[in-house]
């Protein structure tokens, strides 16, 4: 069991939870600068048409560098309603969507101010659904390199996340084939109580 550091993200990729499921101590990076085009504010699901990105709009600042923990959500339009409708279209017929629906629905009804708070809550909810303990530390200073932990912060950038996992049954798999390393929600809705065993068997 290793000590790891990684970024909180929005219903993270399966790779995040593979790392967490195998870890002894989890530290979340709280002091980085926000970077666009990363999974800090997006997730990928398996829609009827194939892979679909769900992106959270954030308020943009005139400052060149903003810390991720200071990023505020854009509330000008109802992205939460749109995201939940997309999840319904993708997973309503999956084996475990109805089983977990009441657990995840509040995240799409609650009005968060900060992206970081939203991300931490999505990870907490999923951990409870997985029956995975969700104890973590928070970083107090940013270090470009860490020596006392396994550094999984690169997983936040989907383009750098090269993890490949064992296929499992997906709702539209017969139509589009297996899609690797989507949001943890894809695994949860398709595998349910078997999801945690699956995570522990995967390699990063």
Q: pLDDT digits over 87-99, tens only? A: 999 999 999 999 9
160 alpha carbon, distance to own chain's centre: 15
Task: Report the percent of the chain where pLDDT is more than 90.
Answer: 86
Domain that holds residue 80: 2-201
Q: How many structural domains are present in the chain?
A: 1
pLDDT at 82 over 80: yes
pLDDT at 126 over 90: yes
- Best CA proximity match to 132, nearest among 36, 4, 20: 20
pTM for the structure as a whole: 0.95
Q: Residue 161's pLDDT is what?
A: 87
What does pLDDT average to over the chain? 94
């Amino acid at each position: 069991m290793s000590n790891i550091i990684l970024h909180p993200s929005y219903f993270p990729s399966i790779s995040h939870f593979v790392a967490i499921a195998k870890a002894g101590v989890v530290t979340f990076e709280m002091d980085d600068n926000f970077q666009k085009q990363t999974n800090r504010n997006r997730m990928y699901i398996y829609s009827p048409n194939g892979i679909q990105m769900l992106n959270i709009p954030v308020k943009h600042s005139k400052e060149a560098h903003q810390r991720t923990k200071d990023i505020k959500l854009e509330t000008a339009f109802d992205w939460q309603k749109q995201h939940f409708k997309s999840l319904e279209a993708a997973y309503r017929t999956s084996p475990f969507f109805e089983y977990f629906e009441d657990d995840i629905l509040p995240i799409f009804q609650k009005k968060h101010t900060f992206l970081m708070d939203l991300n931490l809550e999505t990870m907490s909810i999923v951990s409870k659904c997985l029956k995975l303990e969700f104890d973590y530390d928070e970083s107090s200073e940013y270090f470009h390199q860490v020596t006392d932990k396994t550094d999984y912060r690169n997983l936040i950038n989907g383009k750098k996340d090269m993890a490949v996992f064992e296929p499992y049954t997906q709702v539209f798999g017969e139509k589009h084939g297996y899609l690797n390393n989507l949001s943890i929600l894809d695994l949860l809705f398709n595998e349910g109580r078997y999801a945690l065993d699956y995570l522990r068997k995967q390699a990063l």
